[in-house]
Structure 1
Amino acid sequence: MTEKLDELWFDRLRSVSGHVDESLWLQDHIRIAHEERERFIDNEIENPLFTYRKESEINVVPQKIDELRVEISKSDAHVIVAELYDKKLSNEVIRNALIEASLHANDEEFFAHSVALHGKPRKRFFSYVAMRVKQLCEVYEDQYPNEVKRLLKVVSKIATNDIDIDVSVLPPVNTDGVPVESIDEVIKVFKDTLERLEINEWSLVIDNSSLRTRFSVDPFKKLVLLPNQEQLMSRASKLTNVQLEALAEHEVGVHARRAHEAINSPLKILKIGLDSYLPGEEGLAGYVQQQIEGADEFYGFDRYLAACLAVGVDGTPRDFRAVFSLMTDYYTLKFKEDAVVNKAPFRAAWDVCVRIFRGTTGQTAGCIYTKDIVYMEGNIGIWNLLSEKPHVFESLFVGKFNPLLNRHVRSLQTLEILKEW
């Protein structure tokens, strides 16, 4: 059995930190009344009000985290291990403060903590997004003149003449799929993927307690969460067998596999993730999904656009209503291009706005949960990395680290966990 470099500290870390990812916490605790949504759609209110269940324990004690940080710093732990734990524990303090800010409806403080954890949209990526939106507008300016005019009013201000992001690296969209009709089909594909990768201790759980239509994992409980039959059938875009296989590779082949492979690592913290591991994790998950189903855009593009509009990368911070209106315009054009006929643009705009404004009251312009920017930034980064270094692909599965962060790579090389790079 591999000797663990952090044997003394991993369980202590788990005991003093939250046992749930903050995005899962927000998802489980957010409350938006159905009537609130309907009144918003009918223009009876300016912005929907988000509320959050307050009876749950956050389960993080900042004082205990600080005490553990001091204890590790004074121990004889390997200096790299001590640094990795210190940064992870520092993030746990910020994560706790973020949830506290959400519970106290302090949107500005919530946004500041979110930026500290996940960063904020960057002009380099918004320039790429603006260029792609301009290209879309050029195609549909005659058919949808009003939508195009409103979108161009925003993106035309952004310089797009010096962009180093190339969408042509993406594989073509696979259109051979047939619709998935049963949750039993979903279970079989996900079960087969778990068995193929020899991930035996994870379980599949059908979520009958919520309106879940998405697939996700809970790395803390080693669960793969699936929608139930009703929610599977109510998905706005019908899931195909090709997309199902791609999703299984995303959720199990990356998220579950990286946690599972870390069991054999000398560093236990790789099971739950180093600090700032998400861009690499989600970028890789999007990458393997794209290998199967293809893509015409980098993963998380629409979320990045919505986040940029909200925080005001163009100079104008926007509230829920303003972002919703522009995203409705965007989806009107995009759905036409993609021949999407069974989903209303306003519904897609509502979904993406709820996603980026979750954690806030939904009332404050410019204040969002910035986690969703990691998907596109990470996806672009992984494509660039593997274009330059295809030989490192298998090394990305030693655990949950960010291969786009030189600090992580150097640390794991020093510990001889990453051997080829």
Structure 2
Amino acid sequence: MPVLVMKFGGTSVATLDRIRRAAKRVGVEVAKGNDVIVIVSAMSGKTNELVGWVNETSPMFDAREYDAVVSSGENVTAGLMALTLQEMDIPARSWQGWQVPVKTTSAHSSARIEEIPSDNIMRKFGEGMQVAVVAGFQGISPEGRITTLGRGGSDTTAVAFAAAFDAIRCDIYTDVDGVYTTDPRVCDKARKLDRIAFEEMLELASLGAKVLQTRSVELAMRYKVKLRVLSSFEEQSDDAGTLVCDEEDIMESNVVAGVAFSREEAKMTLVSVADRPGIAAAIFVPLSEAGVNVDMIVQNIAEEGRTDMTFSCPVEQVKRAEKALNDAQTKGSINFHELVADTAVAKISVVGIGMRSHTGVAAKMFQVLSSEGINIKVIATSEIKISVLIDRKYMELAVQALHDAFELEKTG
């Protein structure tokens, strides 16, 4: 039998009624002749509750016990889903990560999947089981301890299973009905995309789009797993949702696929740094060691042996960055006159594989922002992306103006 992977997020399994609704969708796929691997998240809000209990019990917790507690939410959902399917006369059983086994690294709370042997589940399929309900977000370390995969881990679990079992597709059920050209809550002209290339989805996910977790898209791109994003709450057709696939599987597309934004950004500038070999390493190594996620970097032209260095990072990491750089200043590894933090900026990005073969996208973007009176603070580009930092108060205006300018409401 062909294998299909179906993943249900927390909102899709938030109540017993929603679990029953999800189970009916699984039943439809079983009736089509598929063996189905269902990956489930914890019921909505449960993981946060469990994390809260751990922090209240032991603020300096043992990470191994943290994983043991926090992974339990998915176990509950998996058991309830299997019971629901059995009530529908569908042969199903639940699987915890260690039973598959999902073999991971030993990095508790942020483990990475290393291998998923298919033998155990395939043997059960051969014995008549039609649905394997697997607890997402978890695995087992070489030491035999439960591990968790970090934020968005169930998406990553689903794609990894699709790769390991050579699945025909991996369907990600969530509370939205697909991938949009931008957030519909910001721009009412946002359009649902029928298809989007892996590279575009990866950029959009890393730039602020919350539909899919970045690691899951990276994994899907590496193993050529076709992903479909669709809603748990709407009636489905065969072409529902958005298919994330190879660029070659898309006949024609707009030059720009979407506009992404990240609201909580900060711009930090080291004023008057010595312009010498090794200065960039002296600045960014301490930031890396402090866990600061640096994104855009700009160095000004040097004057009289001094230069300014500007970078962006998430706004919640500003204090960490300030401490790391001030400590480096104290140690004498860098010498700057002033550290200026602007915590009221947003990052706006246009993304599209069509940029590889079309010129003028950057010029058009800058012209549009200029016509709206929006000043650009920092610019960064890649082969299929242009990102800018602007004042946060202009974020929604910029998204709407760019969406209109690139006519993203129209199909390619």
TM-score tier (shorter): under 0.3
The higher-RCO structure (CA 8 Å, 6+ apart) is 1
Superposition TM-score, scaled by structure 2 size = 0.27
Question: Which one has the bigger helix percentage?
Answer: 1
User: Highest CA radius of gyration, 1 or 2?
Assistant: 2
Question: Which one has the bigger strand percentage?
Answer: 2
